[in-house]
């Protein structure tokens, strides 16, 4: 099936043609591992997890290579390690940095696993590719695209004519709109750091330019080249990375490996809001994935809400959406409880995902399958989005409660008997009763189904039946 994706570089929806259909290659910028992943961090994970699943569905599970890195060289990680050392923690600073990175990566895996995200093919750590970074930087200096100054190495933006093509802005516009570090050793204010010195009390590596550590941007260029080659198919991330990170990646990679094209397609997801506002600690609406999980919001519900908005649109997390998602998933899990694995994903769902990863359209198609299709079709189709999988079902007990379900089924049976006897007043009264109790009744030609709504109150049924 043909896949079409909106390429940020061309600003057009394009037909996706992999370089090698037997090895489709995807790189996504991963987290800096200094703390728990917040809810916004989960959005690109889930967006590109669905893309990974779709590519595997179309090209075969063994024909897709997905790389998502861990940035474990960072001032915040260093600060945490230093604080632990000053508090008397045993071990060298390097050991404490590694300890903090290991701890945070463990949290990240646990949280993303809870959201149903598949592990990528490779999850490289920046610290394992320092040699490759040093070699790339040395090559850039030799070719005239970078220069050493006062222990730093900087990329010379003027040396790359295509700088700014991804973001669509001129260098002058970027200087005016960005926080540019002013430093006397820079030849151009936009020149960015490839290597910077480390003091004795900070982690560092020996290099031709002295003991130091890499700049952020060079890390992804070195890791993607080592694992995916000069040219690969798709590079993804949040649109907050478009400039300067991805712009700088393109510049240094294109100059270091002019024989390649780096990434052919660039995909960027929009940001997340909470109840219509930007998530921030000052507004009191900042929370991590673990916060939600510990509050009892199932990972499958978080996933459903996230995928209900197209990746290129801002996603607004609300408590109401979470309640509605849980009600829908309860209904679908009840409907598919006896479904086997005999069918394949419905074509309408696959086509929606092939159309620029339209997860919202795919979920709309799942609603239609529930209304008119069979449980096998719904289960297999939902699993293409990572929903209704056995691994994600631990939260679901199959019923609101035994007594509540019995009352609902009894009310529906009485209503059905009244309708059959043409006693429409009684039938309407029971439907009204169910609605007041927060039970959503769905009538189709084929069947009557129900779901627990966000305001479900079983006491209303108990008092009136």
Nearest alpha carbon to residue 304 among 430, 216, 389: 389
Residue 399 lies in a domain: no
The annotated binding site is made up of 29, 220, 245, 249, 281
Using CA atoms, how far residue 271 sits from 241, 267, 306, 309, 435, in Å, is 11, 13, 11, 11, 36
In whole angstroms, what is the distance from residue 184 CA to residue 189 CA? 9
With 80 as the cut, is the pLDDT of residue 454 above it?
no
**Tens digit of pLDDT for each residue in 258-291?**
999 999 999 999 999 999 998 888 888 889 999 9
In whole angstroms, what is the distance from residue 126 CA to residue 132 CA? 10
Neighbours of 63 (CB within 10 A): 15
Looking at 232, 253, 269, the residue that finishes a domain is 269
pTM of the model: 0.86
CB within 8 Å of 443: residues ≥ 6 apart: none
Residue 53 lies in a domain: yes
The CATH number of whichever domain residue 59 belongs to comes to 3.40.50.620
What's the total number of domains in the chain?
Answer: 3
Residue 397 lies in a domain: no
Backbone angles phi, psi at 137, to 5 degrees: -65, -45
Domain residues for the domain of 167 are: 4-269
Same domain, 341 and 236: no
| pLDDT, the chain, mean | 91
Looking at 211, 234, 269, the residue that finishes a domain is 269
Same domain, 107 and 198: yes
The annotated binding site for ATP is made up of 281
Same domain, 326 and 411: no
Same domain, 236 and 304: no
**Tens digit of pLDDT for each residue in 377-436?**
999 999 999 999 999 999 987 555 556 778 888 899 999 999 999 999 999 999 999 998
Using CA atoms, how far residue 420 sits from 12, 249, 410, in Å, is 55, 68, 15
Residue 398 lies in a domain: no
The bridge status of strand 272-274 relative to strand 315-317 is parallel
Residue 79 lies in a domain: yes
Residue 73's Cβ-count burial label (10 Å; 0-12, 13-18, 19+) is buried
The annotated binding site for Zn(2+) is made up of 29, 220, 245, 249
Same domain, 219 and 231: yes
């Amino acid at each position: 099936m043909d896949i079409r994706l909106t390429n940020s570089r061309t600003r057009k929806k394009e037909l996706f043609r992999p370089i090698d259909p037997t090895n489709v290659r995807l790189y996504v910028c991963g987290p800096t591992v200094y703390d728990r992943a917040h809810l916004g961090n989960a959005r690109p994970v889930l967006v590109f997890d669905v893309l990974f699943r779709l590519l595997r569905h179309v090209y075969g599970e063994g024909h897709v290579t997905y790389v998502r890195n861990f940035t474990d060289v960072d001032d915040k990680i260093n600060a945490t390690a230093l604080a632990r050392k000053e508090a008397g923690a045993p071990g060298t600073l390097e050991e404490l940095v590694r300890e903090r990175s290991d701890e945070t990566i463990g949290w990240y895996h646990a949280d993303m696993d809870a959201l149903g995200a598949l592990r990528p093919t490779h999850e490289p750590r920046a610290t394992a590719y320092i040699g490759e970074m040093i070699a790339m930087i040395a090559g850039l200096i030799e070719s005239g695209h970078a220069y050493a100054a006062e222990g730093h190495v900087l990329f010379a933006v003027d040396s790359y004519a295509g700088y700014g093509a991804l973001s669509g802005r001129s260098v002058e516009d970027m200087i005016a709109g960005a926080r540019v570090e002013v430093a006397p050793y820079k030849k151009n204010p936009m020149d960015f750091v490839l290597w910077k010195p480390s003091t004795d009390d900070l982690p560092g590596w020996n290099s031709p330019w002295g003991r130091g550590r890499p700049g952020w941007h060079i890390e992804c260029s070195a890791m993607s080249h080592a694992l995916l080659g000069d040219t690969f198919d798709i590079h993804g991330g949040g649109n907050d990375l478009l400039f300067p990170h991805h712009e700088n990646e393109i510049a240094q990679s294109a100059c270091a490996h002019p024989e390649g094209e780096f990434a052919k397609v660039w995909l960027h997801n929009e940001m997340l809001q909470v109840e219509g506002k930007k998530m921030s600690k000052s507004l009191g609406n900042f929370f991590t994935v673990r916060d939600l999980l510990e509050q009892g919001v199932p990972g499958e519900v978080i996933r459903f809400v996230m995928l209900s908005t197209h990746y290129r649109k801002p996603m607004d997390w609300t408590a109401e959406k979470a309640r509605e998602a849980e009600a829908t998933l309860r209904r679908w899990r009840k409907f598919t409880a006896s479904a086997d694995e005999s069918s394949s994903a419905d074509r309408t769902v696959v086509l929606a995902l092939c159309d620029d990863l339209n997860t919202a359209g795919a979920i709309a198609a799942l609603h239609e399958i529930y209304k008119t299709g069979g449980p096998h079709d719904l289960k297999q189709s939902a699993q293409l989005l990572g929903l209704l999988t056995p691994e994600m079902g631990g939260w679901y007990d199959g019923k609101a409660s035994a007594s509540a379900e019995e009352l609902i089924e009894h009310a529906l049976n009485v209503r059905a008997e009244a309708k059959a006897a043409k006693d429409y007043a009684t039938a309407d009264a029971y439907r009204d009763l169910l609605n007041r109790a927060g039970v959503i009744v769905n009538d189709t030609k084929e069947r009557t189904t129900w779901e627990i709504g966000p305001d479900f109150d079983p006491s209303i049924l108990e008092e009136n039946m």
